[in-house]
Amino acid sequence: MDRQLEKSVKQWSGILLAIVSYYIIHEGTHFLLAMILGVFEEIRFAGIWGIQIVTTEGSLSGMNLALFSGLSSIVTILIGYILALHPSIYKIKNKNILIGIYYITLCFLLLDPLYMSLLSKFIGGGGDLNGITTGLGTSDIPFRILFGIILIINILLFKNKVCSRYNRIFKENKNINK
């Protein structure tokens, strides 16, 4: 296989793995909470927007609604921090696994903060952010600012720490297992 094609296949495979991992963790957190709270109704496939965990109509309010809506973002961001900062990740020798973890880390660190701070205003009507603010009975502005700050911190973390470590690993180890 042509070297450039092989590189593209590995990158796109890593991106696909990141997207699937994100949905499993993010929506899986919603699912677990819905099951724990006894409000799970169905899993809905929402076209290009992925999947949604549907709860029984009117069954969530107050702190339970805020928790159901917000915990999934917290979980994905925390996993992103673990993947970005845990030293054992950077000792993995398999290049394909490293590529997958690189894209998963990128997705977990940036996707929810970007959506909660900016994109939710334009795409999908707010989703999780609406659940947080409705549940807590507060404005979305403090949460948009908070997630915006998290987004900036995570961009800098990814650029300065994650990218530099991966660049060094791939430059130093040209003979990593394929």
Residues in the chain: 178
Q: What is the mean pLDDT of residues 163-171?
A: 87
Is residue 176 predicted with pLDDT exceeding 50? Answer: no
Name the amino acid, one letter, at 107.
C
**More confidently predicted of 178 and 133:** 133
Is residue 126 predicted with pLDDT exceeding 80? Answer: no
Q: What is the mean pLDDT of residues 65-83?
A: 97
Task: Name the residue among 39, 37, 69, 31 with its Cα closest to residue 56.
Answer: 39
Is residue 130 predicted with pLDDT exceeding 60? Answer: yes
The percentage of residues in the chain with a pLDDT greater than 70, rounded to a whole number, is: 94
pLDDT of 152: 98
Is residue 117 predicted with pLDDT exceeding 60? Answer: yes
Mean of per-residue pLDDT scores for the chain? 90
Chain-centre distance of CA 107, in angstroms?
Answer: 5
pLDDT of 159: 96
- One-character DSSP codes across 40-89: EEEEEE-GGG-EEEEE-TT---HHHHHHHHHHHHHHHHHHHHHHHH-GGG
What torsion do the CA atoms of 164, 170, 172, 175 make, to the nearest 10 degrees?
Answer: 170
What pTM does this model have? 0.89
101 burial level (CB within 10 Å; 0-12, 13-18, 19+): buried
